[in-house]
Structure 1
Amino acid sequence: MDVAKAVLDKCDGLPLAILAIGGLLASKDVSRIDEWEKILRSLGGELEGTGELERVRRILSLSYNDLPSHLKPCLLYLSIYPEDYLIECNMLILLWVAERFVEWREGMSIEDVAWGYFSELVSRNLIQVIGVFYEGLPYTCRIHDLLREVILIKSREQNMVTITTGQPMTWPSEKVRRLVLHSSSNSSNIQYHQQRQFYSFEHLRSFITVTSTNPLLSKTFLCEVLRSSKLLKVLRLKGEEIEETPNEIFNLLHLTYLNLYGTKVARVPRAIGKLQHLEYLNLGDTGVRELPVEILKLLKLRYLIVFQRVDPSDDDYGFHGFKGPSKLGGLLALQVLRTVDASSGSVILKEIGKLTQLRELYITQLRREDGKELCSSLVNLTSLRQLSVKSIGKGDDHEIIDLNHHQHSLSSSSSCSFLQSLHSNWSGLRAEEDPLESLQHLPNLGEITFCGSYQGERLCFKAGGFLKLKELRLRKMEGLIWMAVEEGACPHLRTLVLDRLPSLVDLPSGIQHLSHLQELGLYEMSSQLMEKVGNQKEDSEDYRRMTHIPEIVIGFYADDGEWRIRRLWGKKKKTILA
């Protein structure tokens, strides 16, 4: 069509402009010529004679103007992030929800609606997905620098976001609604920022720091903001050098979102009970180990994230959970609960069984004798998607869940039928307790991590089992000497990670049956196995068994003690979390 060519000619061969036009067309009926003509008229003659960058900016501006009303604030909100910043998609979704940009839809969770918004912006080529989870859900994303320039201008025009780096500036409006702090390395800028006397925060709704340990955030300035922002709803201080929760926070009676992740806070005051509109509370990677009973007053709380990291190098077992009040089951709105310390016994597990809206549950310090109580509670959790369970302690004789003993409740319960992700660490199941027997027929299980979860010598994935499994990680199983995958098992497995299995000297038998396997990771494995994998002679049996795998990566400690990663072959096309 001539009109289609005319539209493309407006892009002048510029890739980003073509992508933006493609995004515009994604929401149109491209078979109708009037849709093309409408876009051509929108571009008009204003692009004639403009430079390349200005041409792209104007096309991106048109892309923004073409957005439906519910997507415009979501896109403008991305202006809070610095240039080239890698954005955590889930955190962005939660902020959209907290800012009330997302409308409820019948039959859908508010987060699922927000993910729909995100997908629309991706389909319009306004957001670029960088990393994905095993099920294809975006993990990280970013926006193009030129698009950021466009939305920064529009954000200022609409007084949506005020960004400060500490440089002398004039506020775009006396009514600052969302204040975002970006760090600055200029000490004079910091001094100017902290000494400035005039701030008008009575209309402030959100206060956000984006980069960790922001030098702009003095205690005096923070207290001043909190003291004068009675209507504040969103407070994100992730990674800041804060040793105790400012008392001013507990007077923010409209607060719905509080993120103190990675701060040095070690105690939660009883005054937390005053924040009765709070829906999201993140105290992850802090020193908090116990919550006061007043937390039970937060009946709107949907996300409760509390854990203490004790060994940053150990993602499997390097953290502690929190000890909650005995009536934790009263927080009926909870959807995400991590990480509960269950060492006190079965009472807390019974309470968890009352939280029927849970989608994610993380438990640590679970005793073997309480495994039955946990399984009984899981039966009630019909919305559960992600489950992580860790035992009472590495190296102890305690074992978590006798999976075979509770096989019926696990495999037949409606809760586990929706389970998508399972992490089991240090359960130490004996050789006669096959951990796969009760899991292989769960219809939606897409990811499994076993860390020290099995003491046996043999592990077999049987034909017809794990039909939706896409990622499998086996770690720290010292006794495992043989592993097999029968034909017809794990037909959609994409990522297989074998990590610190010192007795395994051969590749899994039947690995050639995993026709969809995209990545094989071998970390700190036996020298015999590493030697076999490293033998890339085309006539060798091991080579023929793994030649269908696009990417094979091995990790090991070299003689000099340094950790090394070696890619045998292949190059990733997308970032998959390992």
Structure 2
Amino acid sequence: MADKCWMKEVRELSYDIEDFLDEIALAADAMLIAGKVSEFRERAQEASQRRRRTRYGLCHPTSRRSSRRRCSSSSTRRPPPRFGADVDVAAADEVARWVANDDGEEERGLKVAGVVGAGGTGKTALAGEVYRRLGGQFERRAFVRAAEKTDLGRLLRDMLSQLLGRHHKHLQDHACVDTPDLVKFIRESLYHRRYLIIIDDLWSTSLWNYLRRAFPEDNNSSRIIITSQVEEIASSCCNYHSGSIFKMRHLTTDNSRKLFSRGVLGSKDGFPGHFREISADIINRCGGLPLAIVNAASLLASQLAVMDEQEPWNIYNSLASNLRRNSTTEVTGQILNMSYNNLPHYLKTCLLYLNIYPADYTILKDDLVKQWVAEGFVDVIKDQDLEEIAGNYFDELVERRMVQPVDVYYDNKVISCTVHSMVHDFIAHRSIEDNFIIVLDNSQNSIEISDKVRRLSLHFGNARYAKTPENISFSQVRTLGFFGATRCLPSVAEFKILRVLILYALGEKRGPPVVDLHIIGELHKLRYLKVSCDSRIKLPTRISRLKCLETLEIEAKVTALPSDIVHLPRLLHLRLPDETNLPDGFGKYMTTLVTLVAYLDLSGSSIENVESLVDLINLQDLHLTCCNLQSVQLLWETMNTFGFVIESLVNLKSLSLAVGFLNGTSSTDHFSSATTRMSWQMCTPPPLLQRIDLSPHVCTFSTLPNWIRELGTLCILKIAVRKLGDGDMDVLGGLSALTVLSLHVSDAPEERIIFREAGFPVLSYLKLRCSVANLAFEERAMPRLRRLVLGFRAAGIAEQQPGRTPVGMEHLLSLEVVTARIDASCANEADRMAAESALRNVVKARNLFGGIAPVVNIRWVDRQITSTEESKTVGEDQPADYPTSKNEFSGRRIIESSSLPGRSFTCHNPGMKLHERVPMTPWETVLVLSESCFSMFSGPETGFTSTPAIFIARGAILNNSLEILYNGQHINF
């Protein structure tokens, strides 16, 4: 207790000194300064004497040096734990069989399963493993977390965003929607589709009863998996069907040993010599609980680098004395407490900071890194960037299993995380003890609050009338987090010394149409500002007064972008929303920028404005959203200039060009066919480039650019070419650092695309889109490839095998998942069977030779989709936005004529065959028919040009009737 009091005392002293220095910087007063300095000296002396009396040391110096060494170098760090590493394989297989079983009419209906078990037994890991294995077989899928005090609106938005991918952008034109509308949108997006939904850590049957309204019951073999710590809740969700309830079992001794060994040594191999007895007893004391085992393993692993022969026994004795065979919660809690106490001080601070986010949040690494730097948590190390050090802090928290990875890119970089509910409860308790962060929700107005609140986080969720308690003084709050409705926002004018401001605000139909944030301009000490809001916001007109601002991220529509934004002297990171143009010539003023994520009107921007990017000499990360094609000639000039600009940015590490949305519509609709021939030339590319991500609708090269071969540090490449030239694959295979490759080839290759033995030594993810899958994989090719994603046409495959199907996939010995999206247009049944057989042969071949067979997910579509594929979220190949049903409307008799308000259409060929379906909004679908079956006239009422064979429909043709959704009205014929 004495050590905690001393640390708290020193922390408060340091805060007071920093606040005072800020105060005198604004108005110096000699008498005030002298008095305060005397006070601080006296407090420091008292703290020092108290420390000597308690003979307390911060941490073992060897341990600190070890931790610092790990944080300063990521090259020796073990890969992050992967989804499925902690799971009982037999249990995952059992649930996977339940998901895949669709034999019989009853099994083809919507089914709900409940996975039940105490905290720390591996429910989330099991659900995640099933999701990873089988998610690609479903047209729509989502994995959401429902904490004990979950925000229903945010949960629904998260689900909708995962289900619709980029199409979720359309909801920006319908902002401030209430939860009933979100339920409706989700239901419409799942209508007539096969879907997989996982709801993790459910705590309430009432929440389930509300959520179930969003899930249509059909015969598409859709599945929902619920995990819960409460058996009654899990049973209720699946209507007490015993065959759909899966109870978590504690791990067997053998599986516990493997998990512990993997956590300590990075492999399943047993412990050598004197470690064997220690590990066996620790494993036994963990009682088969995955969370306890992995945290005990990480505790031991964190000390291995500096251990002498005696130290393993010291750790063992500490574990043995603290771990007793108590309940699940107590055993795991004891290990968490020991793991926390073993952390170096800077990791303790960073871990406690996660309490600023609600329990079920998915937190971006990039956000945490910038926030930790702004807070001053990062210790300076010579010749190292502060954000690089902070990134290593994050990686070590992952390695120590204090946070759980959510999105892991295929170069093993964790880019988002969540906090296990038990860990979150632990850090919430410690935060209150240390007065580190005060968290308030709508039910905690009576919580005991320190007289000095340094960090405040308001978790108001869907509450409409929540407010901050009046007994809180804002004068010393340096960090404010807000998660709730816009009407509940506190007045930030009262937070005079605020350094970090995080606003996640949800608009309401009855709330203000514009959220006025102009008062932020008075927060002169602000270093970090992030605003995420589905209402329009008003920024300060004189934002340049924020002289200390280093990070500005706006994820909301703005009434106007302040023109003086270019005069923020310390701005390092700038993120702006679509359709927000930067001022002309911004580059020559914003030379401090390291990150720029912004909108660029390719054909509307002046050449001078594009050229101004050259002045961003410190830029490392450039992500441009390209919209609004108007002039092809200007586009050509812009792209040529752009190549010159990129060549000049010598510090650039990441380059991305994406297709944005214009007035709620994907800008691919505004790009002409000429766009796909655009490219640029460079003599010498930036030497530090690690990532290139180019949308095919912005840039498609005629062949692979020559400058690609010079990028020895390139890790991620997403590129489109019209055709592959001789030797292009050898060039790509020679990129020694390449871990992710996404390649779109427009023209069918004349020769086989061969992946040779010596190429792609570290590639772990390959996506290849080409009209013909004329591929060959040599023995020992791509030894680390884990995921293969293919897109090709099936037509003619049966007649031209093997020249049109992949061969040699059995040589990919590390392959875990194969996902294929196959164009079925003009293909007969023989073509379909030949295509599927070629892909599934890899499973047969692997089983034949005793290897572990990869999961094969095959999706049939009516055409190849390329417009938005390259912008999918990280890590996984997301489910298609298009249905795979086999022409479910074929053969139906459609009414021969009818009319819509102000418009009419006529069916020229009843009984036509559905050619394809393209989503336009979450509740509308455009049906494009293989023959000219309908005529729609153009006009301002429809917003469409005159295009035969297109009409807006919900997709419901039942009992010889057609249901149309037109301007929000359902019309039945």
Structure 1 length as normaliser, TM-score?
A: 0.80
1:384 to 631, 648, 652: 652
Matched with 1:563 is none
Q: How does 1:339-488 map to 2 (within 5 A)?
A: 339-341=598-600, 342=602, 343-363=604-624, 364=626, 367-389=635-657, 394-395=671-672, 397=674, 402-403=679-680, 406-410=681-685, 415-427=686-698, 429=700, 433-450=702-719, 453-456=720-723, 461-466=728-733, 467=735, 468-475=737-744, 478-480=746-748, 484-485=753-754, 487=756, 488=758
- Could you say what the CA RMSD is over the residues aligned between the two structures, in angstroms? 3.6
Whether the aligned pair in 1 keeps the contact of 2:690 and 2:716 (CA below 8 Å) is: no
1:293 to 563, 566, 588: 563
Whether the aligned pair in 1 keeps the contact of 2:544 and 2:565 (CA below 8 Å) is: yes
Greater RCO between the two (CA within 8 Å, min separation 6)? Answer: 2
Q: Distance in 2 between matches of 1:458 and 1:22?
A: 50
Whether the aligned pair in 1 keeps the contact of 2:613 and 2:645 (CA below 8 Å) is: yes
Q: How big is the shift at 1:447?
A: 1.8
Deviations 1:182-230 (A, max 9, x none): 3445x6xx54x338554422222222135xxx24x42xx4243x02111
1:20 to 274, 295, 317: 295
Q: Is 1:495 aligned with 2:799?
A: no
Q: How big is the shift at 1:68?
A: 1.0
Residue identity opposite 2:611 in structure 1:
K
Residues 498, 486 of structure 1: alpha-carbon distance in 2 compared, 3 angstrom cutoff: closer
Q: How big is the shift at 1:345?
A: 2.5
Q: Is 1:227 aligned with 2:493?
A: yes
Higher deviation after alignment, 48-57 or 248-257: 48-57
Q: Distance in 2 between matches of 1:388 and 1:497?
A: 17
Higher deviation after alignment, 133-142 or 49-58: 49-58
Return 5+ residue gaps in structure 1 as ranges: 309-319, 560-565
Q: Distance in 2 between matches of 1:22 and 1:133?
A: 24
Matched with 1:304 is 574
Whether the aligned pair in 2 keeps the contact of 1:11 and 1:17 (CA below 8 Å) is: yes
Q: Is 1:123 aligned with 2:399?
A: yes
Q: Distance in 2 between matches of 1:449 and 1:459?
A: 20
2:439 to 156, 163, 172: 163
Residue identity opposite 1:207 in structure 2:
L
Matched with 2:965 is none
Whether the aligned pair in 1 keeps the contact of 2:709 and 2:732 (CA below 8 Å) is: yes
Matched with 1:181 is 458
1:237 to 503, 522, 525: 503
Q: Distance in 1 between matches of 2:799 and 2:875?
A: 26
Q: Distance in 2 between matches of 1:329 and 1:526?
A: 48
Residues 269, 183 of structure 1: alpha-carbon distance in 2 compared, 3 angstrom cutoff: closer
Q: Distance in 2 between matches of 1:383 and 1:113?
A: 18
Q: How big is the shift at 1:111?
A: 1.5
Q: Is 1:251 aligned with 2:528?
A: no
> What secondary structure sits across from 2:417 in the alignment?
strand
Whether the aligned pair in 2 keeps the contact of 1:455 and 1:478 (CA below 8 Å) is: yes
Matched with 2:367 is 91
Question: When the two structures are aligned, how many residues end up with a matched partner?
Answer: 528
Whether the aligned pair in 1 keeps the contact of 2:643 and 2:682 (CA below 8 Å) is: no
Q: Distance in 1 between matches of 2:533 and 2:301?
A: 40
Whether the aligned pair in 1 keeps the contact of 2:362 and 2:417 (CA below 8 Å) is: yes
Whether the aligned pair in 1 keeps the contact of 2:704 and 2:721 (CA below 8 Å) is: yes
> What secondary structure sits across from 1:438 in the alignment?
helix
Q: Distance in 2 between matches of 1:264 and 1:105?
A: 42
Matched with 2:376 is 100
Deviations 1:443-493 (A, max 9, x none): 12222223xx54458786332435133222245x65445572453554433
> What secondary structure sits across from 2:795 in the alignment?
helix
Q: How big is the shift at 1:245?
A: 3.9
Q: How big is the shift at 1:181?
A: 2.8
Residues 542, 556 of structure 1: alpha-carbon distance in 2 compared, 3 angstrom cutoff: closer
Q: How big is the shift at 1:38?
A: 3.2
Whether the aligned pair in 1 keeps the contact of 2:777 and 2:809 (CA below 8 Å) is: no
Deviations 1:347-403 (A, max 9, x none): 223322121221111233683213343333323322211112369961164578654
Q: How big is the shift at 1:496?
A: 2.4
% identical aligned pairs:
24
Residue identity opposite 2:650 in structure 1:
T
Higher deviation after alignment, 356-365 or 72-81: 356-365
Of Structure 1 and Structure 2, the greater helix share is in: 2
Q: Distance in 1 between matches of 2:413 and 2:616?
A: 25
Residues 557, 268 of structure 1: alpha-carbon distance in 2 compared, 3 angstrom cutoff: farther
Matched with 2:536 is 265
Q: Is 1:59 aligned with 2:335?
A: yes
